């Protein structure tokens, strides 16, 4: 499968330059050069938050499939950022996700999870390696991400019969307008699949991100704090 960077390089002239820019920033990062960015610690937030209860998704339903790209090298940074291929969400979001997964069965599909809870330090790393022109696709660490609260999930569909990932109008983490859930290009079938995913997730209380068809926020995300713990520290 092509990485987003490969897409940027091979498919669009305008994006070619951006792809090269992203590639060189990643290369710089790979050499362990420190790149300065605003926040160096998670933001301090006022107010009362619910107690975090991160649940491993496959413990609620082992038929949910994982392809956690940040635990592998086929992500936009080009190297693994997680030590373990695991995915967690806060309990209400995790339970809603399982409902969407089970509802999709009637159409012959299941949920394929790319990412759930993400430690704040990884959000900061994404910000640091992404060029300014593409920063709208990554969360500002000064505010934190809804992934840091365990209330956002990146996902797609897989075919229950073949086990294969379903083709969508763009690749996961592709930083182009093909990623928009309102994008009118691609094939009819790709858009139909993207819209089915959105329909089933929104039925369960998730909202799709306006520029990424794969990213969904659970409606109570404001109630949870920004976290920066490792998967291995989750009880």
- Please identify, among the stretches 3-11, 165-173, 193-201, 210-218, the one whose residues bind Zn ion according to the rule CB under 5 A: 210-218
Structure tokens at 29: 């990062």
Q: Does 173 bind Zn ion (CB under 5 A)?
A: no
Nearer to Zn ion, 124 or 215 (CB): 215
- Please identify, among the stretches 31-39, 64-72, 161-169, 215-223, the one whose residues bind Zn ion according to the rule CB under 5 A: 215-223
Q: Which residues contact 94 (CB under 8 A, 6 or more apart)?
A: 55, 57, 60, 88
Nearer to Zn ion, 128 or 154 (CB): 154
Q: Does 69 bind Zn ion (CB under 5 A)?
A: no
Contact (CB, 8 A) for 136 and 175: no
Q: Does 174 bind Zn ion (CB under 5 A)?
A: no
Residue count of the chain: 235
Residue nearest to Zn ion (CB): 215
Least distance (Å) from Zn ion to the CB of residue 214?
7
Near Zn ion by CB under 5 A: residue from 65, 101, 124, 215: 215
Q: Does 67 bind Zn ion (CB under 5 A)?
A: no
Q: Does 154 bind Zn ion (CB under 5 A)?
A: yes
Query: Cα–Cα distance between 138 and 209 in angstroms, integer?
Result: 12
Least distance (Å) from Zn ion to the CB of residue 188?
26
Q: Which residues contact 121 (CB under 8 A, 6 or more apart)?
A: 228
Q: Does 171 bind Zn ion (CB under 5 A)?
A: no
Number of chain positions touching Zn ion (CB under 5 A): 2
Alpha helices in 31-168 (DSSP H): 57-60, 91-104, 120-129
Question: Nearest to residue 58, comparing CAs of 82, 40, 85, 32?
Answer: 85
Least distance (Å) from Zn ion to the CB of residue 154?
4
Contact (CB, 8 A) for 111 and 193: no
**Which residues sit at the interface with Zn ion, rule CB under 5 A?**
154, 215
């Amino acid at each position: 499968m092509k990485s987003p960077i490969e897409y940027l390089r091979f498919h669009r002239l305008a994006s070619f330059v951006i792809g090269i820019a992203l590639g060189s920033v990643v290369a710089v990062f790979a050499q362990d050069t420190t790149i300065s960015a605003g926040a160096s610690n998670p933001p301090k937030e006022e107010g009362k938050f619910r107690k975090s209860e991160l649940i491993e998704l496959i413990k609620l339903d082992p038929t949910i499939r994982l392809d956690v790209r940040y635990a592998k090298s086929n992500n936009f940074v080009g190297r693994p950022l997680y030590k373990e291929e695991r995915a967690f969400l806060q309990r209400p979001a995790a339970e809603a996700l399982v409902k969407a997964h089970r509802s999709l069965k009637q159409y012959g599909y299941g949920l394929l999870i790319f990412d759930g809870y993400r430690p704040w330090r990884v959000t900061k790393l994404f910000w640091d390696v992404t060029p300014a022109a593409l920063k709208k696709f990554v969360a500002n660490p000064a505010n934190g991400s809804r992934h840091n609260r365990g209330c956002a999930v990146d996902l797609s569909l897989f075919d229950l019969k073949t086990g294969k990932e379903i083709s969508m109008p763009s690749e996961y983490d592709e930083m182009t307008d093909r990623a928009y859930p309102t994008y009118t290009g691609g094939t009819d079938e790709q858009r139909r699949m993207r819209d089915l995913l959105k329909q089933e997730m929104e039925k369960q209380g998730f909202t799709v991100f306006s520029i990424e068809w794969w990213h969904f926020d659970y409606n109570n995300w404001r109630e949870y704090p920004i976290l920066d713990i490792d998967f291995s520290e989750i009880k």
